[in-house]
Amino acid sequence: MKAQLLEKFKEIYGDNGGICAYFAPGRVNLIGEHTDYNGGHVFPCALTLGTYGIARKREDKRLRFFSLNFENLGVIESDLNDLTPYKEAGWTNYPKGVMWAFEERGYKLSCGLDVLIYGNIPNGSGLSSSASLEVLIGLMLKDMFGFDVSMIDIALIGQYSENNYNGCNCGIMDQFASAMGKKDHAIFLDANTLKYEYAPVVLEDAKIVIVNSKVKHSLVDSAYNDRRNECETALKELQEVIDIQTLGDLTEELFEANKDAIKSEIRQKRAKHAVYENQRTLKAVQALKDNDVELFGKLMNASHVSLRDDYEVSCDEIDILVNLAWETEGVIGSRITGGGFGGCTVSIVKNDAVDSFVATLGAQYREKVGHEAEFYIVDIGQGAHVL
């Protein structure tokens, strides 16, 4: 891949030496959904799918971007002296946003860059192509300009740029997983404090299979903000009767004993998901440490039921995929992954059942929904690195 991209870079920008190459992965969250902004834990891992970048410094302040994913757009030019987001700049607003965020922190770019990008994360799949691109650019700037920033700093800068430059109010999980991923490990991350540990994901006889529903409903942003507001209100109501900082501070028992302080049935359901999902994530990490993949699968299934019924962020197409997975022999666990209302499911499937899983789910989903799903059999890869 690197050799092919280098050739393409030289074809577009010329062969003048000083060329550097980078990679940053996408991510999938195994369990712990909508817990990050509720003071809870998440459990993502980096994938071997991701974004590649080839770059070289220029003599001037010009920025030139080319993406093999959008070849028809050609080279998009910009300038370091004007890092304003423009609608016409399209996808280049993501790398420009990271450059802007570095400069906001006092890391000045001394010259422009020629950049070539290629990503093999499917668009709209919910596997964090934008975070992958942000982390890639952060690593590129650190390496090429010698900036003294850690990989956690790069994750935070990527999140800051997406929040404040691109206008998407995402949490830290996606960028953190891309920057800090470790091969064959998931990251047990406290999204509140950024304390983390690596947990080995040893699936001796199974694979992680991601299924892309190929649908994304337009509810996502407004519904996401609604859920956040409902949980914040539920927390305030609970704080009148119990001393807690976040919903993540509660055990299931404490929640059940005090839930009547929440004055709305909807808010009770939202808070219940946040509390129970956080506890499921703690149990899931312990299950993997105990090499109990079957229990991990049961917790994944329970996570989906909670996201469907209590948090109400699933949709018909996703429920069809999960229900089909649950009915398929060799499936250890399956759930929605990501923000919801479409996107992907993540399943753990025994090795000898993977082929039939893909064939059976593919045919039945097409029959029920009327279009194809996409299947990715993935490995857990390392975080962003210089190639």
pLDDT of residue 105: 96
Q: Where are the alpha helices (DSSP H) in the chain?
A: 2-13, 93-104, 129-145, 151-164, 173-180, 220-239, 252-258, 265-289, 293-309, 316-326, 354-369
From the number of C-beta atoms within 10 Å of its C-beta (0-12, 13-18, 19+), residue 18 rates as: exposed
Altogether, the residues listed in the chain come to a count of: 387
- List 82, 114, 153, 174, catalytic entry: 174
pLDDT of residue 58: 95
CA-CA distance, 344 to 129, in Å (whole number)?
Answer: 13
Domains of the chain from N-terminus onward: 2-202 (3.30.230.10), 206-378 (3.30.70.890)
List all residues 6 or more positions away from 276 whose beta carbon is below 8 Å from its beta carbon: 252, 255, 306, 310
**CB of 327 within 8 A of CB of 352?**
no
pLDDT single digits (tens) 171-222? 889 999 999 999 999 999 998 899 999 998 888 899 999 999 998 876 666 7
pLDDT at 383 over 80: yes
Distance of CA 303 to the CA centre of its chain: 17
Buried b (16+ CB within 10 A) or exposed e, 225-246: eebeebbebbbebbeeeeebeb
Confidence bin at 127 (pLDDT 50/70/90): confident
pLDDT at 218: 62
**What distance in Å separates the CA atoms of residue 185 and residue 196, rounded to the nearest whole number?**
12
Closest CA to 235 of 257, 266, 267: 267
379 is catalytic: no
Checking DSSP bridges between strand 44-57 and strand 20-29, what pairing results, if any? antiparallel
* Single-letter amino acid code for the residue at 85: P
Per-residue pLDDT tens digits for 233-256: 999 999 999 999 999 999 999 999
Q: How confident is the model at residue 301 (pLDDT cuts 50, 70, 90)?
A: very high
Collect all residues with Cβ–Cβ distance below 8 Å to 71 and sequence separation of at least 6: none
Residue 171 near residue 34 (C-beta atoms within 8 A): no
Alpha-carbon span 332 to 299, nearest angstrom: 10
DSSP code, position 225: H
Whole-number average pLDDT of the chain: 93
The yes-or-no verdict on residue 123 having pLDDT over 80 is: no
Q: Per-residue pLDDT for 271 more than 90?
A: yes
User: Beta partners for 97?
Assistant: none
Residue 336 confidence (pLDDT) above 70: yes
Q: Output the 3-class SS for 277-311.
A: HHHHHHHHHHHHHCCCHHHHHHHHHHHHHHHHHCC
Nearest to 96 by CA among 106, 88, 107, 85: 85
Q: How far apart are CA 199 and CA 186, in angstroms?
A: 5
| Sign of the Cα pseudo-torsion (192, 194, 199, 201, in order) | positive
Give mean pLDDT, residues 293-310.
Answer: 97
Instruction: Specify the pTM.
Output: 0.90
357-366 contacts, C-beta under 8 A, 24 or more apart: 357/209, 357/325, 357/328, 357/330, 357/331, 358/209, 360/324, 360/328, 361/211, 361/321, 361/324, 361/325, 361/328, 364/324, 365/213, 365/317, 365/320, 365/321, 365/324
> What is the C-alpha separation between 202 and 184, in angstroms, rounded?
7
Greater pLDDT, 26 or 204: 26
**Cβ 214 vs Cβ 304: under 8 Å:** no
Which tokens sit at 54? Answer: 């080839």
Q: Which tokens go with 61?
A: 């302040």
Q: What local confidence, expressed as pLDDT, does residue 126 receive?
A: 74
Instruction: Report the Cα 135 to chain-centroid distance in Å.
Output: 12
pLDDT digits (tens, 9 = 90+) for 81-112: 999 988 888 999 999 999 999 999 999 999 99
CB neighbour list of residue 309: distance below 8 Å, 6 or more residues apart: 269
d(CA 242, CA 250): 10
Is the pLDDT confidence value at 167 over 90?
A: no
Of 111, 105, 100, 108, nearest to 134 by C-alpha is 100
